[in-house]
Chain A
């Protein structure tokens, strides 16, 4: 207990007690089309009344970067993904476009992922991409959070931009959703904190100089100013766990997939903003 107090003191964790949300009054428009960035929380959330997109917690200047697809730096990586989509790769001599007429066929997919497939497995977009690559293209797997995968997941996600997040939590998804919920509220690491300590108990407050969001993932993959590239959901989960000085689960692991399902369900009702711009 004493050790934890010292660590906390060293980490200098402070916060203003008033919940402030930077962009509360700001209206998000993307290419002049309005986007909803706050809605009533889905029924399954007990401790939160309103859910907010991560966009609302950023400074005016950062918010502006997402409002035009030519201001948004993520789009150069989307363009590269379009090139990849059209390029042959693997022993079968195929490109994505050989089977999928255009990226537009994926409209709606991102809004309901992750989901349980016919075999009862929870599947995520990177797995769908790698399955195609290895089983139908004779190509090599891409790394879960590498540039190529982040770009392609971004391109696929973009097709659902503006659609409402609607992830199934009942039926076959139920046990994995419960597991994800358990992980969300579980304290881990040297700093002994859970996702909820920051993103449910303290969203809107400052942690050192960071303005805490609700940790919604409706805008992922996201272009972060911090590393000037597209960041994936599991990549961010891993980073967060490292910040708490916990040993992160592996990207693509059952734990992160369950967590992704639960966290996605916390944003049911918000709009997909992929690819978003964040700090």
Chain B
């Protein structure tokens, strides 16, 4: 598990049925690209979050394949439709096998 990894997401607490909302997500992660060299000149191996998914009540909103060119502390903003009350499930998959997740409930306005 990479150290100090923490997600931060912006999700509205309430929405009307069928409303479109903008979600903002960030996770603190170094995203070691595999291009940097250490002081001895050896390449520091790649170690990134390689996939991010967001689903609402089990339905996929977005599924992102990520490569090392995504900046440190990966940020994604995108839109979701909220058909009914439910829960967003955000998941980040690390090269090292760890999975980071957070969930946010949305109630009907």
Scan residues 79-102 of chain A and give those whose CB is less than 8 A from a CB of chain B. 79-80, 83
Residues of A within 8 A of B9 (CB): 70
Give Cα A70 to B23, complex, Å.
Answer: 9
Q: Are B24 and A228 in contact (CB under 8 A)?
A: no
Residues of B within 8 A of A70 (CB): 8-10, 24, 26
Chain A: CB-nearest residue to B27: A76
Give Cα A196 to B7, complex, Å.
Answer: 40
Residues of A within 8 A of B75 (CB): 71, 73
Residues of A within 8 A of B72 (CB): 228-229
Q: Are B26 and A77 in contact (CB under 8 A)?
A: no
Give Cα A77 to B28, complex, Å.
Answer: 8
- Chain B facing A: main interface SS: strand
Give Cα A228 to B73, complex, Å.
Answer: 7
Q: Is residue A256 contacting chain B, with contact meaning CB distance below 8 A?
A: no
* Chain A interface residue count, Cβ-Cβ cutoff 8 angstroms: 13
Q: Is residue A147 contacting chain B, with contact meaning CB distance below 8 A?
A: yes
Q: Are B26 and A73 in contact (CB under 8 A)?
A: yes
Q: Are B26 and A80 in contact (CB under 8 A)?
A: no
Q: Is residue A75 contacting chain B, with contact meaning CB distance below 8 A?
A: yes
Scan residues 44-97 of chain B and give those whose CB is less than 8 A from a CB of chain A. 71-73, 75, 77
Q: Is residue B4 contacting chain A, with contact meaning CB distance below 8 A?
A: yes
Chain A: CB-nearest residue to B8: A76
* Chain B interface residue count, Cβ-Cβ cutoff 8 angstroms: 15
Q: Is residue B36 contacting chain A, with contact meaning CB distance below 8 A?
A: no
Give Cα A229 to B31, complex, Å.
Answer: 13
Quote the shortest CB–CB distance from B92 to chain A (angstroms): 12
Q: Are A80 and B4 in contact (CB under 8 A)?
A: yes
Q: Is residue B6 contacting chain A, with contact meaning CB distance below 8 A?
A: yes
Q: Are B6 and A80 in contact (CB under 8 A)?
A: yes
Residues of B within 8 A of A228 (CB): 71-73
Q: Are A73 and B10 in contact (CB under 8 A)?
A: no
- What 0/1 readout, one digit per residue, does chain A (144-169) give for beta carbons within 8 Å of chain B? 00010000000000000000000000
8 Å CB contact of B28 from A68, A71, A80: A80
Q: Are B24 and A76 in contact (CB under 8 A)?
A: no
Q: Are B4 and A73 in contact (CB under 8 A)?
A: no
Q: List 18 additional A-B contacts (Cβ < 8 Å) besides A70-B10, A79-B6.
A: A68-B24, A70-B8, A70-B24, A71-B24, A71-B77, A73-B26, A73-B73, A75-B26, A76-B7, A76-B8, A76-B27, A76-B73, A77-B28, A79-B8, A80-B28, A83-B6, A228-B71, A228-B73
9 A-B pairs with least C-beta separation? A228-B72, A70-B10, A70-B24, A76-B28, A76-B8, A73-B73, A76-B26, A80-B6, A79-B8
Residues of chain A whose beta carbon lies under 8 Å from any beta carbon of chain B: 68, 70-71, 73, 75-77, 79-80, 83, 147, 228-229
Q: Can you give 17 A-B contacts (C-beta < 8 A)?
A: A70-B8, A70-B10, A71-B75, A71-B77, A76-B7, A76-B26, A76-B27, A76-B73, A77-B28, A79-B6, A80-B4, A80-B6, A80-B28, A228-B71, A228-B72, A228-B73, A229-B72
Residues of chain B whose beta carbon lies under 8 Å from any beta carbon of chain A: 4, 6-10, 24, 26-28, 71-73, 75, 77
